[in-house]
Structure 1
Amino acid sequence: MSGSRITVVLVLIILAFDVSQAQTERQRLEKEKQEIQDRILETQKILSQTASKKNNSLGRLRALNNQIRSRVSLVNAIKGEVTLLDEEIAEDQSIIDAMENDLNALTDEYGQMIYATQKTSSGFNQLTFLFASGTFNQLFMRMKYMKQYGEARKKQVEQIQIVQQSLNEQIVEIEEQKSSKQSLLNEELSENRKLSNLQSEQRSLVTKLEQQENKIRQDLARQRASEKELSDRIDAIIEAERLAALASAVDMSDINAAFEGEKGRLPWPVDQGFVSSKYGKHRHPTLRTVMLTNKGIDIQTTKNASVKSVFPGKVSAIMSIPGQGNTVLIQHGEYFTAYSKLKAVVVKKGEQVQAQQVLGQVLTDNNDVSEVKFKVFDQKTTVNPETWLERKIN
């Protein structure tokens, strides 16, 4: 096989491999982008509900913050696609350059063959060349030579056609890639404008909320008091349940193992929503000197959203605390999950519930914010619920 033909084969192999790799990466980016866009639509729906009565609320600020994070992620995903296309275009251009070089080399080789044939054939025809053989063996060798030379010319033509076709296909592909890149750049520009508008609204809202510091501090004090009351009651119920299980020597190893096996894969307690307040300590969104401690996560969702159990278990308690709405506490062996800020509950104490069974509806406050607080308790204390729930891309 000639050097040109070897190069052509290698180029085609590399091309097929690169296309497969690029398609895999592009599919991953497309999937990620679609998930982000889904989250944006969810948050937009939640954001529109918080605007129906009062614009100046912490719930609206949290929805705006989440929308901005999602928009930033979307812009970054688009940039990733553009970078990938730039790399593909550069790779394809190098392949086109290699193919053009091979095509020129093959054409030159074919031209030299034709020239050599014409030069050899000048002054006599093929029959004269054959019958001029001195021996039968020489005649046989001349016939074999002519056949091989003819086949070589035919293969050279076929090779030129293969390279030319591949080159044309690659040129079409690179033009499509450039068109896709321009579409993505236009999309990125549009998303950047939307992001800029959201950031402007965010700054304006923060300024307005900072002017309501006294009211926010009073609301925060009431919220902390109601959360402590709820937390104390839940702790007491869990402790009583554990003592009862210990006294009865109930084996909970199987259900404990089953619950632990779902870590990172538990369904969310609501179908739509985002984490508006994370687990643990973090700074207040407008009171910069105030630190908040959250023993669960707050999930902002849509009005009248159904709140569901994340795992099979027994309803240990149903309680109502002013400021926290109704709370459902479910036991899963030595683990517990708590669902607070419900306006209505459709299960009863002692009832066995299944995963994704509806427990009640989310409560909507005076600012049109619909938010459920979700907690997970292990054998000792609360743990970060986000590490137990299936991951959502912001």
Structure 2
Amino acid sequence: MRHKSTYIIVLLCLIFGNLVAYSQSDKQKELEAKRQKFQNELKQINALLFSDKKKEKSLVSLVEDLNTKVNVRRNLIKVTNDQANLLTREINANQNEITSLRNQLKELKESYADMVVKSYKNKSEQSRVMFLLSSDNFKQAYKRLQYIKQYANHQKEQGELIKVKTLKLQKLNTDLLRQKKDKDKLVLENRQVKKQLEIELKEQEELMASIRKNLNTYASQAKKKQQEINRIDREIDRLIRAAIAASNKKAGKSSSSKGFALTPEARALARNFESNKGKLPWPVQKGVVKVRYGKQPSPIDRTVSINSQGVKIATEKGTKVRAVFDGTVSEILAIPNANPVVMIRHGNYITVYKNMSKISVKKGDKVTTKQEIGEVSTNRSTGETMLGFGVYKDSKTQNPAIWVYKM
């Protein structure tokens, strides 16, 4: 029984070791998925922001584009470093386990060899019979018979353990070679990415040097741009609050309520919208997030903060805008000196699409997921084609990145 317990414990240790290895493998898969995401994002940035067609862009737009690219490349370097460090830890753990397994195998083989020798010396049937017949009584003979069986079983278990550990050792050696190869590849790739980052940082510094010569002019332009954004956002906020008040008045509730009064159908639609959190399609087929949600420093003047109530997605000229979910067009804003804004309601959620042109829906229209609702407007002076996209729950803004798939 003692030998059987030992065998079970060793097997459990092997199983636990495999579970740890699988856990590390899962972490590698997670990091690799992130690395692939950043690599794809860089390809999109190069295609959408740095193609030959973008030569007519303004200096400010070029700085903003380069800043977006530099940030993604830094993220790529970080995640690649994390992968390489994890591989180093896995390699070290594998090397330690290989050393331990070799020592265990050596002891097992020596023990097994001793058993084989003893078995050979006592292998004849006559020896076993004599061993049993020389017993003083039946009880002793029974115990000796049990000992012979246990010894044979233990010998078999030792043989099986050697096979198991030998196979594990072979697998670990194979994994170790693969891990070292993967690490060498990552280190080489990261070296190349860092070189490219140095080139881009130098280019960024040259552009910023040109801007610093007329910083007041550019800072004034950035401030004016932010004021224009704030003006549009205030109008969106006003319309949402008005819609909430109207819905509550219609339902006979207090008009001071901060949330929509929902019909059963609207409540079901809102639940449906919520269940698709993180899975909503992009509002454009191809795009790169150039400005993220929340407060952040301006890439032109770091002392100035940008407060973004949504995201800004750079895309190609003539790109169609799509509804990200089923809903009803609640408003189409025509603000003086600004491009149209489309608002779509999904229960007590609202998605907002800014900087539109060629609107193909009207207020009150029912829309479905991925239905085209218009086109992104292209700025003639900057050469940018940029969609502003926001998500609201009642009157509160949400981070679109947590709603849209892989944003």
| Fold shared, TM-score > 0.5 on shorter chain | yes
Once the two structures are superposed, what CA deviation does each residue of 1:306-341 show, in whole Å capped at 9, x if it has no partner? 22223412242242543x322223344565443221
Once the two structures are superposed, what CA deviation does each residue of 1:124-154 show, in whole Å capped at 9, x if it has no partner? x94775797895868x969968787666656
Give the whole-Å Cα distance in 1 for the aligned partners of 2:107 and 2:115: 12
Q: Percent identity?
A: 24
For the 8 Å contact 2:391–2:397, the answer to whether it is kept is: yes
| Secondary structure at 2:194 match in 1 | helix
Pairing 1:80-229 to 2, within 5 Å after superposition:
80-116=82-118, 126=124, 156-217=158-219, 219-220=221-222, 223-224=225-226, 226-227=228-229
Give the whole-Å Cα distance in 2 for the aligned partners of 1:243 and 1:4: 73
Residue 31 (structure 1) aligns with: 33
Offset of 1:344 from its aligned partner? Answer: 1.9
| Secondary structure at 1:361 match in 2 | strand
C-alpha distance 155-285 of structure 1, shift in aligned 2 (>3 A): closer
Q: Cα RMSD over matched residues?
A: 3.9
Worse-matched range after superposition: 331-340 or 127-136 = 127-136
C-alpha distance 234-183 of structure 1, shift in aligned 2 (>3 A): closer
For the 8 Å contact 2:318–2:375, the answer to whether it is kept is: yes
Give the whole-Å Cα distance in 1 for the aligned partners of 2:330 and 2:235: 15
Once the two structures are superposed, what CA deviation does each residue of 1:332-358 show, in whole Å capped at 9, x if it has no partner? 456544322123211123322233322
1:73 aligned onto 2:75: yes
Residue 285 (structure 2) aligns with: 271
Offset of 1:275 from its aligned partner? Answer: 3.6
Aligned length: 387
Once the two structures are superposed, what CA deviation does each residue of 1:62-109 show, in whole Å capped at 9, x if it has no partner? 232222222222222222222222222222223222221222112222
Worse-matched range after superposition: 248-257 or 19-28 = 248-257
Residue 328 (structure 2) aligns with: 313
Larger RCO (alpha carbons 8 Å, 6+ apart): 1
Give the whole-Å Cα distance in 1 for the aligned partners of 2:393 and 2:125: 97
Offset of 1:362 from its aligned partner? Answer: 1.0
Give the whole-Å Cα distance in 2 for the aligned partners of 1:58 and 1:300: 15
Give the whole-Å Cα distance in 1 for the aligned partners of 2:128 and 2:236: 106
| Secondary structure at 1:364 match in 2 | coil
For the 8 Å contact 1:270–1:308, the answer to whether it is kept is: yes
Give the whole-Å Cα distance in 1 for the aligned partners of 2:392 and 2:161: 70
Q: TM-score, normalised by structure 1?
A: 0.79
Give the whole-Å Cα distance in 1 for the aligned partners of 2:234 and 2:124: 107
C-alpha distance 16-75 of structure 1, shift in aligned 2 (>3 A): same
Residue 252 (structure 1) aligns with: 262
C-alpha distance 98-11 of structure 1, shift in aligned 2 (>3 A): farther
C-alpha distance 58-257 of structure 1, shift in aligned 2 (>3 A): farther
1:16 aligned onto 2:12: no
Offset of 1:230 from its aligned partner? Answer: 4.0
C-alpha distance 110-204 of structure 1, shift in aligned 2 (>3 A): same
C-alpha distance 196-391 of structure 1, shift in aligned 2 (>3 A): farther
For the 8 Å contact 2:63–2:300, the answer to whether it is kept is: no
C-alpha distance 267-294 of structure 1, shift in aligned 2 (>3 A): same
Give the whole-Å Cα distance in 2 for the aligned partners of 1:183 and 1:174: 14
Residue 357 (structure 1) aligns with: 371
Unaligned 5+ residue runs, structure 2?
253-260
Alignment match of 2:315 (pick from 264, 276, 301): 301
Give the whole-Å Cα distance in 2 for the aligned partners of 1:127 and 1:258: 82
Once the two structures are superposed, what CA deviation does each residue of 1:360-379 show, in whole Å capped at 9, x if it has no partner? 11112232211112344554
For the 8 Å contact 1:230–1:321, the answer to whether it is kept is: no
| Secondary structure at 1:276 match in 2 | strand
Offset of 1:218 from its aligned partner? Answer: 5.2
| Secondary structure at 2:329 match in 1 | strand
Residue 370 (structure 1) aligns with: 385
Residue 341 (structure 1) aligns with: 355
Residue 257 (structure 2) aligns with: none
Residue 329 (structure 1) aligns with: 343
Q: Match for 2:165: what amino acid? A: V
Unaligned 5+ residue runs, structure 1?
none
| Secondary structure at 1:43 match in 2 | helix
Offset of 1:286 from its aligned partner? Answer: 1.6
Give the whole-Å Cα distance in 1 for the aligned partners of 2:292 and 2:377: 19
Give the whole-Å Cα distance in 1 for the aligned partners of 2:211 and 2:267: 44
Q: Match for 1:338: what amino acid? A: V
